[in-house]
Structure 1
Amino acid sequence: MLLAAAAVMVLSGCKGGDLVSYDLPAKSARYTFETNTDGVKTVWHYTSATATKDDAPTQSPCIGELVGSNQAACRPEPLIFLRYDLGLALDNTAKAGEDHQVTVVGYYQQRLTDLPEVTSLKAETTLDGGSTWHPATTRATGENTFTTTIKDPRRDQAAKGVGLRISATDSQGDTVTQTIPTAYTLR
């Protein structure tokens, strides 16, 4: 059984009864999980593993143990989540015509016991709402941490703001691609 509650809580803001879990076949397989929250699209490709009773720590039990009678083994899946420091001013803008840095950190659910390493990250920007994408220079700057340099254009060249598409891969071959149509505007 897959415990998707953490992903749903993070992505939906957890409005009370938003805890969701679902069954996956017992044997390991490759899956795609997609969400679209407030226009931000996230797509994960990951390989599940066979759940064992040891995968659910007692301090963080499976959802079936909490709200139902399902006692089947469950485990969190190795979904890569992304946290951003966009390097913006207090009004969530960046200065037009200058370079600025964005830091992206890949992380996993706390319940996951065997943490992979995020091995690569690719960043792209769009100035036209996603019709065209342009690569941004990215480098590893720490454990699961990457910094990308965005060359912000003149304000009139990005009337819709600057959008980001971030793709990350980990040491187990799992991936995430997150598309933020308008990450920030220019001043």
Structure 2
Amino acid sequence: MVLAAAVMLALSGCKGGDLVSYDLPAKSARYTFETQTNDVKTVWQYTSAKPAKGDAPELSPCMGDVAGSNTAACRPEPLIFLRYDFGLALDNTVRAGETHEVTVVGYYQESLAALPKVTSLKAETTFDGGRTWHPATTRATAKNTFTTTIENPRREQAAKGVGLRISATDSQGNTVRQTIPTVYTLR
């Protein structure tokens, strides 16, 4: 089962206990999982393997264990999640015409198996609401942590604000692509 789906839905604010898990075939296969919340679109591609009893950590039990309705083995899927430090002013703005650094951390759900390492991260920016994308310089700064440098244009050149698209890959070939249409506006 895909425990990641249930956790993602819980984190994205599903109402009324709408937690969902998915049954996947027992053999190893490549999957795509997509979600969109408040215009932020995330697409994961990952390889799932057959779960074994005890793969789910005690603090993240299988949905069937919680509800008491299913005794099948499950495990968290190897989805790369992204956490950001945008370094914004209190009004969610950044100075126009200057460079701005954003820190991006890749992380995973708790798992009993060894977690992969995020090996690459690519960033792109948009100043026109997503019609065109521009590469942003990115460098690794710590384990699973990257710093992206955005070259902000003049304010009138980014009237819709600055958007960000992040693509990351880990040591097992799993990927995530997250598009945030507007991260901040310029002042």
Q: Same fold (TM over 0.5)?
A: yes
Q: Distance between the aligned counterparts of 2:172 and 2:138, measured in 1?
A: 21
Partner AA of 1:58 in structure 2: E
Q: Indicate conservation of the 8 Å contact 1:78/1:112, yes or no.
A: no
Q: CA RMSD in A?
A: 1.2
Residue 83 of structure 2 corresponds to residue 83 of structure 1:
yes
Q: Indicate conservation of the 8 Å contact 2:57/2:112, yes or no.
A: no
Residue 162 of structure 2 corresponds to residue 162 of structure 1:
yes
CA offsets 1:139-174 (integer angstroms, 9 cap, x no match): 000010000100001100000000000000000000
Q: Secondary structure at the match of 1:55?
A: coil
User: Between the two proteins, what is the percent identity of the paired residues?
Assistant: 78
TM-score by length of 1: 0.96
Residue 112 of structure 1: how far off its partner (Å) = 5.3
1:131 maps to 131
Q: Distance between the aligned counterparts of 2:178 and 2:59, measured in 1?
A: 31
Uncovered stretches (5+) of structure 2, i.e. residues with no partner: none
Give the stretch that moved more between structures: 52-61 or 164-173: 52-61
Uncovered stretches (5+) of structure 1, i.e. residues with no partner: none
Q: Distance between the aligned counterparts of 1:181 and 1:49, measured in 2?
A: 33
1:35 maps to 35
2:10 maps to 9
Residue 98 of structure 2 corresponds to residue 102 of structure 1:
no
Partner AA of 2:9 in structure 1: V
Q: Distance between the aligned counterparts of 1:151 and 1:58, measured in 2?
A: 44
Q: Distance between the aligned counterparts of 2:49 and 2:114, measured in 1?
A: 11
1:148 maps to 148
Q: Secondary structure at the match of 2:54?
A: helix
Change (3 A) 1:111 1:18: farther
Give the stretch that moved more between structures: 60-69 or 93-102: 60-69
Counting matched residue pairs gives 186
| Misfit runs of 4+, over 3 Å | none
Q: Indicate conservation of the 8 Å contact 1:77/1:112, yes or no.
A: no
Residue 41 of structure 1: how far off its partner (Å) = 0.4
Q: Secondary structure at the match of 2:34?
A: strand
Partner AA of 1:141 in structure 2: T
Q: Secondary structure at the match of 2:65?
A: helix
Partner AA of 2:83 in structure 1: R
Q: Secondary structure at the match of 1:146?
A: strand
Q: Indicate conservation of the 8 Å contact 1:98/1:153, yes or no.
A: yes
1:18 maps to 18
